[in-house]
Structure 1
Amino acid sequence: MRSGAGPDARDPQLVGSNIDRLVAERGWHTPVAVGGVLGRWPAVVGADVAEHCAPESFEEGVLVVRADSTAWATQVRLLVPALMRRLAEEVGESTVTKVVVHGPTAPSWKRGPRVAPGSQGPRDTYG
């Protein structure tokens, strides 16, 4: 069999079309779409919000966002409805079903191998 003037299977293929085919075959559309949004987080939520909060995880439709202060966590919680609309535009309706916003993590007062059971931190020595 001879090759004709048109392209055939032996010709080099474009990388993008092969990646699109692989994503479709493996059912990776949702994770790839969400990963793209998380990679472009500042463009999706705006530079000011992105400076103070970042996506932490996405599992089973739940996006977890961590803010760097309790004030920003409160502000982002107020913006959740607008954020849900924006995410629906980016990745499709019902891909992100819930956004959970956490504030900064509290410091751990437990140090060393000999921590007394039930100790609550620096206040436990004052009676």
Structure 2
Amino acid sequence: MNALSSMVPLSLQTVLLLVASNVFMTIAWYGHLKNLATAPWYTAAFISWGIALAEYLLQVPANRIGHLQAGFSVGQLKIMQEVITLAVFVPFAVLYLKEPLKLDYLWAALCMVGAVYFIFRNA
């Protein structure tokens, strides 16, 4: 793993860890709406907490690598996180939860592009 991580740029390590953490986060936050719809809310909450642990185990190193080693500001990390969240959430909502694909997702994505521009323009 050390040899592999030394070959992968720190910025890419950050992004890949954020993507992986977002997959777990999305499943933890929204997966119970389909899988545990008839279970009591506290059952869904405990299962979601277990899934969210995996998210935290990826999110914390992502932010530490991104900020302490790759040199991203906290604001840049947050905007990256939000863009990745939308990129993971939309396919999950449409493909897994069978939500309709709405034009509003495109408008939200365009707003995120603006956020990325403004947070990275002086980097």
Q: TM-score, normalised by structure 2?
A: 0.26
Higher relative contact order (CA 8 A, sep 6+): 2
More strand by share: 1
More helix by share: 2
Q: Whose radius of gyration is greater, 1 or 2? A: 1
